[in-house]
């Protein structure tokens, strides 16, 4: 049986807690629902933050590992020091799976910078993005 381990993160905005599967989850397998049982809730109401080595951040030809990601924000480390709060960015998310690499081009804004840690917010690239992201991470742990 394939096992999943969704890692949770803490921030000053939220707390870690369990959640019950919603009607939106009914198309997911029991294993995926089990993996999603514990998520971090904070920031925007109901936003879920995940850690996944299957998603990368690409900007200016450089690929960086994402510390954590939600449907509306990305926490990164080691972005160039010239990137400042409030700055607009064009970037891509690279979703790596057994099927290959899917590139999603996005625009966002640097919401917060604290030393090497940078939070970039972005709009959903398509409808049902949060569900897609959650299921992609569960399948590609």
Q: Is 5 inside any structural domain?
A: no
Instruction: Provide the pLDDT confidence category of residue 40 given band limits of 50, 70 and 90.
Output: very low
User: Number of structural domains, the chain?
Assistant: 1
Q: Can you give the CATH number for the domain in which 55 is found?
A: 2.40.10.220
Q: Is 3 inside any structural domain?
A: no
| Extended beta strands in the chain, E state | 15-18, 38-41, 48-49, 55-59, 62-69, 73-77, 88-97, 100-114, 117-121
Q: What is the pLDDT of residue 134?
A: 93
Q: What is the pLDDT of residue 55?
A: 95
Q: What is the pLDDT of residue 128?
A: 94
Domain membership of residue 77 as a residue range: 15-139
Q: What is the mean pLDDT of residues 46-75?
A: 91
Q: Is 2 inside any structural domain?
A: no
Residue range 69-124, pLDDT digits in tens: 999 999 998 888 889 999 999 999 999 999 999 999 999 999 999 988 999 999 99
Q: What is the mean pLDDT of the chain?
A: 74
Residues 77 and 67: beta-carbon distance below 8 Å:
yes
């Amino acid at each position: 049986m394939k096992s999943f381990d969704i890692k949770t993160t803490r921030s000053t905005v939220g707390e870690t807690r369990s959640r019950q599967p919603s009607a939106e989850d009914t198309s997911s397998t029991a294993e995926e629902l089990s993996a999603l049982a514990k998520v971090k809730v904070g920031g925007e109401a109901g936003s879920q933050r995940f850690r996944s080595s299957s998603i990368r951040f690409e900007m200016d030809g450089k690929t960086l590992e994402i510390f954590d990601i939600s449907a509306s924000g990305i926490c990164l480390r080691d972005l160039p020091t010239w990137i400042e709060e409030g700055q607009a960015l064009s970037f891509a998310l690279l979703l790596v799976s057994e099927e290959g690499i899917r590139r999603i081009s996005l625009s966002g804004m640097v919401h917060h910078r604290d030393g090497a840690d940078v939070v970039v917010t972005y709009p959903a690239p398509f409808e049902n993005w949060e569900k897609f992201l959650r299921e992609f991470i569960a399948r590609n742990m």
